Amino acid sequence: MQRVLQFAAIATLSLGLDTTPVSADQEAIATVGAIIARTKLTRETYAAYYWNSIQHPGQQIVEEWSAEFNSGSLHRVETPRDRVVADCAAQTGTYLSLISGEVVTGPQVARVACGINTNHQFLAVETLGRVETDFGVADRVRVSDAENVRTYDISEAGIILRTSFETNDARHLAVLNMKAINVTHSLPSPDMFDTASLQTSFVSDRFRTAPKSVQ
């Protein structure tokens, strides 16, 4: 929820929203902006399950699952440490840390949970064309902020199918690789988008272990 890294610091995210790139051509801004909007405005019903490889600089690689669920304007994200529900139309959301029990509510939660994270100003944007994925053709875009260069593969329905982060410095260290391993257009439960549902996980055991391709 991409989320694996983003939710770790959710309580300190800026409440401002200024994602206009400092430097980019107008065509790229318009194209990437439309693709980002697709991820935030989708009304598709889906459950997407991901496998993540995470490496903070100087630390060991961690591999783990994550999942996203969507129905209309309602969205849910789960990781082993976090759960989030959001109304993407109303721009409201609630985050629960399973580690500390901390709860955060506000529009900054929705801006992380709903589609591509827009809590940080973009320094540059780039469209990288159409790519083939395990779930069909997707649009690949790249956005850079002060910390990371982020690349996303986005389906026609606005589902994030693949994400990679690298540090935005001379080292260009890999930070996150996230890939969808299963996408369905049905939900495990209709009652998974209110705050009370944060006490329950809706990710089955079969999506909590590494797929054979990475074992």
pLDDT tens, residue order, the chain (215 aa): 445 445 443 333 332 334 556 555 788 889 999 999 999 999 999 999 999 999 877 788 999 999 999 999 999 999 999 999 999 999 999 999 999 999 999 999 999 999 999 988 999 999 999 999 999 999 999 999 999 999 999 999 999 999 999 999 999 999 999 999 999 999 999 999 999 999 999 999 999 999 876 55
Q: Which two tokens stand for residue 3?
A: 């989320």
Q: Does some domain include residue 133? A: yes
pLDDT of res. 58: 79
Dihedral (Cα; 89, 201, 181, 118), 10-degree rounding: 30
Domain-located, residue 110 = yes
SS3 117: coil
Specify the pLDDT at position 214.
59
Partnered with residue 64 across adjacent β-strands are 52
32 phi/psi in degrees, rounded to 5: -65, -40
Q: What is the CA radius of gyration of the chain?
A: 16
Q: Is residue 200 part of a domain?
A: no
Q: Say how far apart CA 196 and CA 192 lie, in whole Å.
A: 8
The number of domains in the chain is 1
Whole-prediction pTM: 0.87
Residue 93: the pLDDT is 98
- Distance CA(129)–CA(109), nearest Å, equals 29
- The answer to whether position 211 is within a domain reads no
Segment holding 165, helix H or strand E = strand 160-167
Amino acid in position 165:
F
pLDDT of residue 22: 53
CATH of the domain at 85: 2.50.20.10
**209 in any annotated domain:** no
Q: What is the pLDDT of residue 1?
A: 42
CA angle at 77 for the pair 40 and 110, rounded to the nearest 5°: 45
Is position 70 within any domain? yes
Residue 64 lies in a domain: yes
Nearest-angstrom CA–CA distance, 209 and 85: 23
- Model pLDDT, residue 9: 37
Which H or E run includes 176?
strand 174-184
Task: Identify the domain containing residue 81 by its residue range.
Answer: 3-188
Flag whether 57 is in a domain: yes
